[in-house]
Structure 1
């Protein structure tokens, strides 16, 4: 996910935990019925209710799994078959050319500068739904090539690359008096984060301090500066 998306919600993969628990429940019901029948005899009267519950659980798990498929697969694997067919010829023609220039340091440096311009000047990171594919389209290159630039040349995931700009933007707004009335969550949402949990976790990982403590330090230093001026 970090290779393709700039935001990761903790709920996106919760269905795996639900699937695990659901599977355990289904197996537990089956084992319980078997043990009951061995010890006490047939329980045909309750089978119908149990079967309905199990079928409902299976359908629910299937729905959750299908609805989260996009999270687990790269976007190019989720395109419709006709789109893949239309692009396959063009991609085949370009692949040898891209392979030759992928490792060209000079071209990668140029591409890096173009990427920095798009991200910094156009502030694409403020878009919560920003993805590797959308940025590669802005650069007019393939997502594979952009992925190589980030992962191999810059040694950073797309997720970390984008979120470092978001964190810096949050810090600027926290230090800006115009945003003194804003909550931290409001500032985070304006800077491209899409959840409080993701924001707190990412900010602390980059700055080694929680957003609230950072804001407290900023306010304290500003207060000390004002007293000094007096």
Structure 2
């Protein structure tokens, strides 16, 4: 019996409040103690064949291991979902501006008093993204066509998984998405600052980290919703 009820306190830890962990733990201990006491005072003689160890003990142990692993897996899922929800609420509170519009930099400086007290992880991921931003944007590492998340991880001494999570919590689907977004913003900056009659578009997109024009055109449309040609045409039309 003890093996079957073992996962209950773990389940309480995953799905319920902390006080229920103590309640269910005490309940299980009482149940085990009560059954043990009954077993001592109510001795039942059974055939020898029933007293021999059989495969049922192994099955019970295996089932409990599987249950515990599932509970721990869903605990991690629930925790990640809570972080994302709280991070979204934090972003929507206007304390931090995570959107880069018209070549303006992110503002990740936020008063500590406004950070939700229940979420210590938010501060950690904001700090990670601050480090990422410093390397990728301030040092213009996105201009390197061969720049990867492994290079970034080595530079800031932070695990790839933490970097990826910080980037995703800031609204990007992946490291590649974030890098391409930075490159497109830089392309727009160069287009705005240069005379296109003297500077080729190829020079602009290669200077921003793109190797081929097809990739550049595809990414530009994904980010801006229009082609580079349409963007340039609209820009020149507004100027004239």
TM-score (norm 2): 0.47
Q: Identify which of structures 1 and 2 has the higher relative contact order when contacts are C-alpha pairs closer than 8 Å and 6+ apart.
A: 1
Q: TM-score, normalised by structure 1?
A: 0.49
- Which has more helix, going by share of residues? 1
- Which of these two proteins has the greater Rg computed from alpha carbons? 2
